């Protein structure tokens, strides 16, 4: 999943009913807006990536890790210089803006 936010949480978990609901519920309880989420499974295992709109605190990571069936949780924020670049407009729009500013 391509990044849509500088704040990403990755969860390795058992492929069981309501796991995605528990993960998204924990995010909501922490007052985080889910920008994008993907869950892929193979057999008994699954991997969930969640991009959120703001920084994630340690309490949420610990809470996710306590969910029965969660095997590992990683918080993967962009370093600050990447986050600044990420908030800029998409590259194609930047290129059009530069072209329009040049003298003919």
Q: By C-alpha distance, which of 67, 57, 92, 51 is closest to 16? A: 67
Q: Is residue 2 assigned to a domain?
A: no
Q: By C-alpha distance, which of 68, 72, 29, 19 is closest to 52? A: 29
- Mutual orientation of helices 58-65 and 19-29 as an angle, nearest 10°? 160
Q: What is the pLDDT of residues 64-74, one digit of tens each?
A: 999 999 999 99
pTM exceeding 0.95: no
Range of the domain at 53: 7-101
Q: Is residue 69 assigned to a domain?
A: yes
Q: How many folded domains does the chain comprise?
A: 1
CATH code for position 96: 3.30.70.260
Q: What is the pLDDT of residues 5-61, one digit of tens each?
A: 899 999 999 999 999 999 999 999 999 999 999 999 999 999 999 999 999 999 999
Q: Is residue 36 assigned to a domain?
A: yes
């Amino acid at each position: 999943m391509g990044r849509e936010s500088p704040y990403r949480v990755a969860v390795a978990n058992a492929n069981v009913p309501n796991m995605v609901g528990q993960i998204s519920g924990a995010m909501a309880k922490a007052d985080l807006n889910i920008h994008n989420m993907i869950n892929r499974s193979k057999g008994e295992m699954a991997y969930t990536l969640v991009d959120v709109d703001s920084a994630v605190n340690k309490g949420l990571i610990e809470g996710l890790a306590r969910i029965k069936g969660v095997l590992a949780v990683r918080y993967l924020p962009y370093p600050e210089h990447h986050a600044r670049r990420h908030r800029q407009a998409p590259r194609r729009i930047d290129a059009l803006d530069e072209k329009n500013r040049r003298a003919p």
